[in-house]
Structure 1
Amino acid sequence: MNRTARLYALVEELRAAAPRPLTVAALAKRFEVSTRTVQRDLQTLMETGVPVRSVPGRGGGWSIDPEMTLPPIHLTAAEASALTAALATADASTPYANAARTAAQKIVASMTGPASEAAKELAARIVTLPTHGDSEVRTAVEHALANNMALRLSYTDAAGHESNRIVEPAGLLTADGRWYLIAWCRTRQAGRGFRLDRIAAAAPTGERAQPHDLTELLLGSAAASAIRPTALTSLTPRP
């Protein structure tokens, strides 16, 4: 078992035992490696944000918070290939592009059998050329959406007019290969769509954004013309 596969196997081993902690010695025996190797792997998991922690004292060891991790997902070969292709082709202008690339690597590394082979073969056939996206703008937009914070934008519209405004992000829209930040514009007091590649600068204001319904803002914004209102769909699974 290579190290990448072992790291994911460690997570699942800790998940299966949670909330009971497992000792380093038990983990080393389970994976047939040294205790030093297990300690190093656990430290790597901590540094990458996996919610593993050391439990001190008698009966202690290492445990994981199962509520902070995803359970195993069983994908078909077609599903694995589709996800690998979509995530691998995320370029610098795509929101959450860095996370998408690491997610693709994790999916391929954690799968076994025909699905794994199909995904790996497809990944080897996909090549992306670097693009010139503004990573600072993208990072600011990602952070604002994740933390419900207002943003100060410097924006150039389709007519070449420049403006500065404070917006309250509600979500993202993708249409015809373009990405739009859909937000409540405090200047216009209305929903607006801002094409990410036209945002010259984006900076956090430190203010909390008010909650806004994404669909309502879309229907009232200039970005609504990019797609039919009846075609508005999100990635949230329906019950």
Structure 2
Amino acid sequence: MNRTGRMYAIVEELRAVAPRPRSATWLADRFDVSRRTIERDIGALQQSEVPIWAEPGRSGGYCLDRARTLPPVNFSPDEAVAVAVALHRTEGTPFHSAAGTALRKLLAAMQDGDASAAHDLALRVHLIGREAGPPPVPAVLTDAVSARRVLRLRYTDREGRATIRDVEPVGYVGSTTAWYLLGWCRLRGGLRAFRLDRVDRVTATAETAPRRAVRPEEIQVPEGDLRTLTLL
């Protein structure tokens, strides 16, 4: 069994006995590998945000929260690679980090043979060119937008003027050339779109921002017509 298949099988084994634990020794015997290999596999799964934790004690081991994991999914190799190609385009957006963990979760939930075939197909897909994109979006910003925490930004406008602003995050505006943080700017007293590559410094406060309804006609960015993302 290759590593991808083994990691998938570990998740399924832990799911089957949840919330009871399985020890590293038991898993090593089950999959005919060393205890250290199991610990490395568990570590990789945890980094992919699979909800596995260690239960201490003689009868302890590794436990999994089955309510927060995917059951086996019937994605074909072509479908998995299609998702990977789409997620590749998230580089430089607020969702690049989440895209990586989403893809790893998807592969871990696929049937062993399909996951291996997806890896093989991906190695036969080649992308041309890699332009230097915008800097990565800080996790503190993306986390605060999701949690609606008021942000303190040091922002440089198109004229090169830097200001410190407290901003109530509303969402994002994305285009083919740039991504913007959409928020209520307390310095200007109105809705503003802040280009993410002009945010020089950002901190999240403990204050929760009020919910604000925004109409598309209120959003002013220097590109095209707006449309709202939907999950179909």
The residue number in structure 2 matching 1:222 is 220
Unmatched segments (≥5 aa) in structure 2: none
Query: How far has the Cα of 1:5 moved from its partner?
Result: 3.4
The residue number in structure 2 matching 1:97 is 96
Q: TM-score, normalised by structure 1?
A: 0.75
Question: Where does 1:172-211 land on structure 2 (aligned, <5 Å)?
Answer: 172-197=172-197, 199-211=198-210
Q: Does 1:75 align with 2:71?
A: no
Query: How far has the Cα of 1:163 moved from its partner?
Result: 4.8
Task: Report sequence identity in percent.
Answer: 37
Q: Distance in 2 between matches of 1:113 and 1:49?
A: 23
Per the alignment, do residues 106 and 201 of structure 1 end up closer, same or farther by CA in structure 2, a change over 3 Å counting?
A: same
Amino acid at match of 1:134: P
Q: Distance in 1 between matches of 2:107 and 2:43?
A: 22
The question of whether the paired residues in 2 share the 8 Å contact of 1:88 and 1:126 is answered with no
Amino acid at match of 1:220: E
Per the alignment, do residues 27 and 150 of structure 1 end up closer, same or farther by CA in structure 2, a change over 3 Å counting?
A: same
Query: How far has the Cα of 1:14 moved from its partner?
Result: 0.7
Query: How far has the Cα of 1:47 moved from its partner?
Result: 5.8
Q: Distance in 1 between matches of 2:196 and 2:225?
A: 17
Per the alignment, do residues 67 and 108 of structure 1 end up closer, same or farther by CA in structure 2, a change over 3 Å counting?
A: closer
Q: Distance in 2 between matches of 1:83 and 1:139?
A: 23
Per the alignment, do residues 202 and 67 of structure 1 end up closer, same or farther by CA in structure 2, a change over 3 Å counting?
A: farther
SS at match of 1:170: strand
Per the alignment, do residues 143 and 176 of structure 1 end up closer, same or farther by CA in structure 2, a change over 3 Å counting?
A: same
How many residue pairs were aligned? 229
Query: How far has the Cα of 1:17 moved from its partner?
Result: 1.6
Per the alignment, do residues 96 and 77 of structure 1 end up closer, same or farther by CA in structure 2, a change over 3 Å counting?
A: same
The residue number in structure 2 matching 1:17 is 17
Alignment deviations for residues 192-228 of structure 1 (CA, whole Å, 9 cap, x no partner): 222223x241311524231324x61644221497434
The residue number in structure 2 matching 1:3 is 3
Per the alignment, do residues 51 and 85 of structure 1 end up closer, same or farther by CA in structure 2, a change over 3 Å counting?
A: same
Amino acid at match of 2:228: L
The question of whether the paired residues in 2 share the 8 Å contact of 1:184 and 1:212 is answered with no
Amino acid at match of 1:233: L
Q: What is the RMSD of the two structures over their aligned residues, measured on CA atoms?
A: 3.3
Unmatched segments (≥5 aa) in structure 1: none
